Structure 1
Amino acid sequence: MRAAPSLLLVALLPLFAGCQVLAEKPQAAVAGTTRMQGELSAKDGQLLFKPCGESRHFAIFDAGNTGLLQEAAALAAEPGTLFADVSGNLSASQKAGNDGQLNVQRLYRVEHSDSACSDPNFKRLTLRAYGHEPDWSLKASGKGMILDRPGQPSLAVPYLEEQLPDGRFSINTEANGQRVELWVAPQRCVDVATGGVQHLSAELRLNGQLMRGCAYYGGSRND
């Protein structure tokens, strides 16, 4: 799926007129929802969601006031496939021409990506965090964390996680002569390089050096 950006933007305008901007507040998990990933497109004034690996299309209703419609419209200014990672539930369609309605309750991320649907690591991860200037990427799973930086060998180490108030948490380790601390907060975060939006902000401290970035839960963590 590759929709013309201008057409997508025009199609979305009636959808988000008058809606509130995405609140920078923790979004509580809603019982009965399912996490889903897929591609976004626009047709007949509707924002449609096509789950990864499927041919069905669901009209999006932003039941949780997540800001997905606004975010998708803003990203439509750039070419490329729009990918969304959300949780919600399916219901009967309110309009003809689609396979049902996706009632979105939580937005994890929305970004341009041609490969996110086929990411082999997503289901195994609990968290992915990354940043730019300098570039860094951290992946955490039940087996440990891996920190990658350009020009440096990958650092693969075990870690401890500490829960903090207001939905915040940290993961940290002291191993191989390195001290790594990642502080995560449930706050809307914009990728400065791509414009993509993630549901978590992140601060990485590596041996005292502070690096900022964004983060999102992997497929093995939904809280």
Structure 2
Amino acid sequence: MFAVRSLVMFALLPLFAGCQMLAPKSDDTKISTAGMIRMQGELTGQNGKLMFQPCDEHRLYAVLDKGNTGILQEAASVVDKNGKAFADVRGNFVASKAVGSEGQLSLYQFYRVERPNDACMDPNFKRLTLHASGNNPKWNLNAGGKGMVLEREGKEPFAVPYMEEQLPDGRFNLVTDANDQHVELWVAPQRCVDPVNGSVQHLTAQLRVNGQVQRGCAYYGGGRND
């Protein structure tokens, strides 16, 4: 199935793109993403190019993976039967001045890449600072400026305030004590794949509730500008 999906989207893409995307990233070439634009939209392959179309827009941007993120490979693993994938990315967008011509996206970071869904229509995305989830049993945690909501399979939702602690190397944790529950969410900047839906996210997460540990993936919501 992976091979079939990949061919639908990327049959026309140059073979050397794969070599470029798998090249190791050098610490000497790291660029701050501060000031760059974050957008969500759809990835597809067109005329030998990887294209990005923002949510609710008709404009197209040819993607240049300047940050060597491996976005081509990640998208190839989750495309649907129409060769499309949803992506949440950050970079420099330059719109074309010519009518009907594509602009250019110099991409430096992705937050998540997943199969097309209703993510563009998510009314809560802009208010979230973090979304984390895991499986076996299934759990979801949404954090925002007014608190966090933890949902676990077979249990009532748990809505409480929390404190955030910053740790070295971009790691942090969210902590709360309420209703005789000690909840911690430990987050680290590391590529994470959800084994159930194949979504690729930019953070790993570890949920601890009264000492019980569950692992999962996470990404920043629209309310966090990291």
The answer for the alignment partner of 1:19 in structure 2 is: 20
Q: Which aligned pairs between 1:55-204 and structure 2 lie closer than 5 A?
A: 55-76=58-79, 78-79=80-81, 81-91=84-94, 98-204=101-207
* Counterpart residue identity of residue 194, structure 1: N
* Counterpart residue identity of residue 110, structure 1: V
Describe the shift of the 1:92–1:56 C-alpha distance in structure 2 as closer, same or farther (beyond 3 A). Answer: closer
1:36-73 CA distance string (max 9 Å, x none): 00011111111110100001111100011111111112
Which structure is richer in relative contact order (CA contacts within 8 A, separation 6 or more)? 1
* Counterpart residue identity of residue 212, structure 2: Q
Find the residue that maps to 2:156 and give its secondary structure: coil
The answer for the alignment partner of 1:209 in structure 2 is: 212
Give 1:25 deviation, angstroms.
11
* Counterpart residue identity of residue 213, structure 1: G
Distance of 2:109 and 2:72 partners within structure 1: 12
Q: What are structure 1's unaligned runs of at least 5 residues? A: none
Distance of 2:81 and 2:213 partners within structure 1: 33
Q: Is the 8 A contact 1:8 1:42 kept in 2?
A: yes
The answer for the alignment partner of 2:9 in structure 1 is: 8
Q: Is the 8 A contact 2:9 2:76 kept in 1?
A: yes
Find the residue that maps to 1:128 and give its secondary structure: strand
Give 1:21 deviation, angstroms.
3.4
Q: Is the 8 A contact 1:33 1:89 kept in 2?
A: yes
Describe the shift of the 1:97–1:222 C-alpha distance in structure 2 as closer, same or farther (beyond 3 A). Answer: same
Percent identity between the two aligned chains: 54
Describe the shift of the 1:158–1:35 C-alpha distance in structure 2 as closer, same or farther (beyond 3 A). Answer: same
Give 1:98 deviation, angstroms.
3.8
Give 1:30 deviation, angstroms.
1.7
TM-score, length of structure 1 as denominator length: 0.89
Give 1:24 deviation, angstroms.
9.7
Distance of 2:58 and 2:95 partners within structure 1: 17
Describe the shift of the 1:110–1:19 C-alpha distance in structure 2 as closer, same or farther (beyond 3 A). Answer: same
Count of residues paired in the alignment: 218
Distance of 1:22 and 1:71 partners within structure 2: 14
Runs (4+) off by over 6 Å: 22-28
TM-score, length of structure 2 as denominator length: 0.88
CA RMSD for the aligned pairs?
2.5
Distance of 1:24 and 1:147 partners within structure 2: 36
Find the residue that maps to 2:87 and give its secondary structure: strand
